[in-house]
Amino acid sequence: MLIQRPAYLQMIEPFIDVGVVKVLTGLRRSGKSSLLQMVVDHLLNRGVPAERIMHLNFDSLQWAHLASATALDEHLRATLPAEGRVHVLLDEVQEVTQWERLINSLIAEGRFDVYLTGSNSRLLSGELATYIAGRYVTIEVWPLSYGEYLTFNPAGDFRHFLRLGGFPGVHAYPLPEQAARSMVTDIYRSTLVRDVLTRNAIRDADLFERVATFAIDNVGNPFSARRVADFLKSQRRSVSHETVLNYLSALSDAFVLSRVGRFDLRGRRLLATDEKHYVGDHGIVHALFGYSNARLPGVLENIVWLELRRRGYDVTVGKVGAAEVDFVATRREERLYVQVAVTIADSAETRRREYASLAAIADNYPKYVVTLDPLAGDNAEGIYHLRLPDFLLADDY
């Protein structure tokens, strides 16, 4: 079942037949391969003959014999027409040795319309970035948003999305919750092995997984590499904070985690301590640890962070004096502030606390408190209180 994602196709469509490499990056199983298939279907609907399109997925053993630049180049030239425009779509291109040389050669020839996917943010950090500087566009692909989830599952509700996350494969079939969680766990573990441990030649897999587990269990909580090292030391596993930083960076490169810095709104500077981390799909948290009220605040923050990133915002955690704003989101000239809580209805003190940090910001950008409260919807002193599902489905902020 191919889940249609028209918003992403709209991002790609202007670059079809334009002389830039289209690079789709994101967490494994977030839907990159399906998007390439949608591009293929779009090309066919535009009248491009099938023999001028080559779509190869290097996650499949079917193409393992082509996993070198030389072999793949020979295959493309033997299979595609020798003249005229041709379209090459390569899934998980990082599995092809010396793929950068091949892509540079194809682009230099001028007749190849090239699309790539990869599950590592460093896909363009090597020679290719030098070779094709200014000749590529990167599109980040995220798991399903709540809005996308509802488009093909209209009978679904937010609780289901909250518990299972947004991996498209999880929602493509009516799976029982336990089976869906097992699928998410398998995606997570295969990502660790294929995109992190193997690619980074990490020898101590147990220690690495302990660091990953600690970070995911502390989604939304500020922590430092030294705190992780101290925690592992208490479990009789010695590790330097530099090694922890390297492990966290490797997880970030594979889109499993993202590090979110803290920004001093009064001093106008990034702070170097106690960053927060969020996971590439919130379903991973529940798949690994089960659903619990204790982890719910961090998971709700994770969902909001993902939505803001999907919409193209750069996101930091805001500091206003001694208070904190969960998210400061900027996109070109736009900015908004978001405070996330499970509820502010349990006491007047909780409501006052969540509003206070936003009220302390002396500018006129939009400010939101986002909760699960059923009666949310008011606007007090320019601060909007929204239900989380309504915030996720808003056309704009």
Give the separation between CA 229 and CA 242, rounded to whole angstroms: 9
381: β partners = none
Backbone angles phi, psi at 392, to 5 degrees: -65, -30
pTM of this prediction? Answer: 0.93
CA distances from 262 to 8, 98, 265, 310 (A): 30, 38, 9, 20
CA distances from 85 to 37, 107, 272 (A): 19, 12, 49
pLDDT digits (tens, 9 = 90+) for 102-116: 998 999 899 999 999
Length of the chain: 397
Which of 192, 220, 196 lies closest to 315, judged by CA?
220
The tokens of 309 are what? 């990133």
Sign of the CA dihedral 22, 256, 183, 297? negative
Which of 336, 338, 345 lies closest to 372, judged by CA?
345
Tens-digit pLDDT string for the chain (397 aa): 678 899 999 999 999 999 999 999 999 999 999 999 999 999 999 999 999 999 999 989 999 999 999 999 999 999 999 999 999 999 999 889 989 889 989 998 999 999 999 888 877 766 566 767 778 899 999 999 999 999 878 888 899 999 999 999 999 888 899 999 999 999 999 999 988 999 899 999 999 999 999 999 999 999 888 889 999 989 889 899 899 999 999 999 999 999 999 877 766 666 566 789 999 999 999 999 999 999 999 999 999 999 999 999 999 998 887 788 999 999 999 999 999 999 999 889 989 999 999 999 988 999 999 999 998 888 888 999 999 999 999 999 9
Give the separation between CA 122 and CA 118, rounded to whole angstroms: 9
Exposed/middle/buried for residue 238 (C-beta within 10 Å: 0-12, 13-18, 19+): exposed
